[in-house]
A and B are shown apart, each in its own frame.
Chain A
Amino acid sequence: MKALAARRRHPAFLALLLLVALLGVGVAYAGLSSTAPAEAVATADQTAIDEGKRLYLEGCSSCHGLNAEGGTAGPTLIGVGAAAVHFQVSTGRMPMGAPGAQAPAKPPDYNEAEVAAMAAYIASLAPGPAIPTAEDLDYSDADVAQGGVLFRINCAQCHQAAGGGGALTQGKHAPSLMKATPQEIYEAMLTGPQNMPVFADGTLPVEDKQAIIAYIVDLQGADSPGGLSLGRLGPVTEGLFLWAGVMLAFVGLAVWIGIKAR
């Protein structure tokens, strides 16, 4: 306010004031002439934010702080955006059941409306990635082959070439993508949950994200050519299957050969 007061005598101040006043009158008029819906939306937003804040204080604040400022147990949520809240809470990762290397997915503790309210509250604290729109998630025109290329470059290192997930360091893991919905995939790329890096729109534009989603959806519907997918983890489970299963059968066969006939 001090800065404003100092510039009050500036020659442009009067013109600016006039412009603001005119705009204010125009907006007020427009608002009055269609009061009902606009106010209803605003009130609904505010109700959601209040409800979200109540749910937040109840279920999240013990780790993330009374004002979402974060603490030793959990990071700050200021600026993480509605997309991060929706991803973490609707997949059951948050609230976390117990401290651990990583929050595992589990049945969600909150319904969609409650998640939306919490998302609205967190989004009201500071701007952050919004929940993707239906248009963002429409991957029907996406290039599945290009999605495969981008998946192998950006995602396969942790989630495996077939999306089966894999191990990271010190008990952390990249989850399987076989049950992930397009919205969850989109939000994960946008917000970088837990240790996943952020793939922002600047380096991975919306159409590239849609291509990746189209490829993952294609993978989810893909058959396993060998009959058994073995978790799609690659050589680890295949090797284990051979050692534990087939070798056991061979040992049995060897025992039968060695047994003295009666």
Chain B
Amino acid sequence: MSDLTTRDEGATPDHGHSAPEGVNPDDLARPLYEGPGALPAADIPHRPRRSDFDPKAARRAERQVSSLFLLSGLMVVLFIVAYIAISPQAEVYVPLFGVIGAQNFALGLTFGLAIFCIGAGAIQWAKKLMPDVEVVQERHPLASTPHEDVEAEEQYERGKEESGFAQYRTIRRTLITAMVLFPLPLIVLLRDLWSPRGGSLTASPSEFLSTTAWVEGMPIVTDGTYQKLRPEEIPVGGLVSALPEDINEIQEAEHNLNARGKAAIILVRMEPDEIRSQQGEGWDYQGILAYSKICTHVGCPIALYEHRTHHLLCPCHQSTFDLADAGNVIFGPAARRMPQLPIGVNEEGFLVAKAPFAEPVGPSFWERG
């Protein structure tokens, strides 16, 4: 029995199939489904295409399809010619795109057209020349027949019998043990997902995520130029991206950028009376505040600081932090405030960290709670 039931009883006999045995042709004239959302498409009378009855139109369609395929072949030849003939340095002016590389443009254009012409030819062929009949696909229930159910059950029982799975208890138990143990290496390897300090595996990942390179007395240096900073160098309204002084040595020793990624901070200065609250008493230095540069949502580095509103905006998901108010979240998906670094000056007058970060920087993680 065919899955496809044709609906074009009036069309040419070689298109489609006749009604299956035992089915009343009158039933097929009605839509199979008449409930809500029923499509009237099945009732639309079949309208033959011009190419179905006009041999001239059929030949024209044939020519269209074959010339599209030929055009595709020509484009492939042109592609190869362009690859050989056009210098990679040559440039060409294309309206709308401006001056661009001539070879790249020709290669892309010819190859794109080559594949497009194959597709367009195939669609034109299907639309104009291939059999054009309205079909309804019948949907059968997905459940197996009772006979198939019984057969499957019998096969299962026979397999159990023949393998002796039920009979050899030791084999069964050792096999289950082996299968349970097998995924363990994959789980153990997950331990490699963090890089432990000094190659030791004793530090837990949560400890690694909770600590940064900032320690008490660590001088603050500018990012990019690595100059130590004096408080008088930062004006009110100023912004400085900064790092701990020893960041380059740590980076070299660890062969990665993790320490830099966690320790990045920004320094901003506002009038001391503009600071409404801080994460700790006296954690600023004369209005200079140090905050982590890593967004607590998913860890984008952020320094979009508006010095009049004191808002810090993350460009990734628009989390906004108020640096005049202890770095609290005032908008966006971030769930935690921006961690603040307590700062002061050392005896030489340079800005230093007074203590490490009091809370983990960056996005939340499982053990953080």
Residues of A within 8 A of B (CB): 146, 149-150, 153-154, 157-158, 166, 168-169, 172, 174, 192, 194-200, 202-203, 208, 223-224, 227-228, 256-257, 259-262
Q: Give A259 to B49 CA distance when docked, in angstroms.
A: 12
- Contacts A169-B311, A202-B235, A261-B128 given; 9 further ones with Cβ under 8 A? A168-B304, A168-B313, A169-B331, A192-B307, A197-B238, A227-B98, A260-B47, A260-B127, A262-B50
In the complex, B86 has a CB within 8 A of chain A: no
Report the bound CA distance from A202 to B232 in whole Å. 8
Residue of B nearest to A190 (CB): B235
> Which parts of B63-122 form the interface with A (CB within 8 Å)?
94, 96-100
Q: Which of B47, B225, B227, B318 has the most CB of A within 10 A?
A: B225
Subset of 7 A-B contacts with CB under 8 Å: A166-B315, A168-B304, A192-B238, A203-B222, A224-B98, A227-B100, A261-B127
Query: A196 CA to B303 CA in the complex, in Å?
Result: 11
Q: What is the bound-complex CA distance between A200 and B231, given in angstroms?
A: 12
Given A227-B98, A261-B127, A169 and B306 touching (CB < 8 A)? yes
Q: A150-B225, A227-B98, A261-B49 are in contact. Are A157 and B306 (CB under 8 A)?
A: no
Is B229 interfacial (CB 8 A cutoff)? yes
**CB distance A200 to B49 under 8 Å?**
no
Question: A236 to chain B: closest CB distance in Å?
Answer: 10
CA distance A157 to B313 in the complex (A): 10
**Contact between A202 and B234, CB atoms less than 8 A apart:** yes
Interface residues contributed by chain B, number (CB under 8 Å): 47
A28 to B230, CA, bound (A): 41
Residues of B near A227 (CB, < 8 A) are 94, 97-98, 100
The reply to whether A195 and B309 contact each other, CB–CB distance below 8 Å, is: yes
Q: Are B49 and A262 in contact (CB under 8 A)?
A: yes
Q: Which residues of B contact A228 (CB under 8 A)?
A: 96-98
A153 touches B51 (CB 8 A): no
Interface centre among A146, A154, A194, A208 (most CB of B within 10 A): A154
Closest to B97 in A: A227
Contact A197 B309 (CB under 8 A): no
Prevailing SS type, chain A contact patch: loop
Nearest chain A CB to B226 CB, angstrom units = 11
- Alpha-carbon gap, A239 to B330, bound state (A): 28
Structural contact, A203 and B234, CB atoms closer than 8 A: yes
Question: CA separation between A208 and B315, bound complex, in Å?
Answer: 25
Which of A157, A224, A256 is close to B304, meaning CB atoms less than 8 Å apart?
A: A157
Which residues in window 242-287 of B have CB below 8 A to A? Answer: 268
Q: Which of B35-50 contact A (CB under 8 A)?
A: 47, 49-50
Residues in chain A near residue B306, CB distance under 8 A: 168-169, 172, 195
B310: nearest chain-A partner, CB-CB:
A195
CB distance from A93 to the nearest CB of B (A): 14
Q: Which chain B residues lie closer than 8 Å to A158 at the CB level?
A: 304
Contact A203 B229 (CB under 8 A): yes
Q: Would you call A169 and B309 a contact (CB within 8 A)?
A: yes
Known A-B contacts A149-B224, A150-B224, A154-B241; the reply to A203 vs B304 at CB < 8 A is no
In the assembled complex, the CB of A108 is this many whole angstroms from the nearest CB of chain B, namely 23
Given A150-B224, A169-B306, decide whether A200 and B99 contact each other with a Cβ distance below 8 A. no
Q: Is B123 among interface residues, defined by CB-CB distance under 8 A?
A: yes
Judged by a CB distance under 8 angstroms, whether B62 is at the interface is no
Complex partner residue of B307 from A150, A174, A196, A203, CB under 8 angstroms: A196
B169 at the A/B interface (Cβ < 8 Å)? no
Question: What residues of chain A lie closer than 8 Å to B230, measured between beta carbons?
Answer: 202
Is B20 an interface residue, CB under 8 A from the partner? no
Distance in Å from the Cβ of A205 to the closest Cβ of chain B?
Answer: 8
Residues of chain B contacted by A157 (CB below 8 angstroms) = 301-304, 315
Checking A146, A168, A203 against B240 with a beta-carbon cut-off of 8 angstroms, the contacting residue is A203
- Taking the closest CB of chain B, its distance from the CB of A101, in whole angstroms, is 10
- Is B233's CB under 8 angstroms from A200's CB? yes
B308 interface hit (Cβ, 8 Å): yes
Q: Does residue B159 face the partner (Cβ distance < 8 Å to A)? A: no
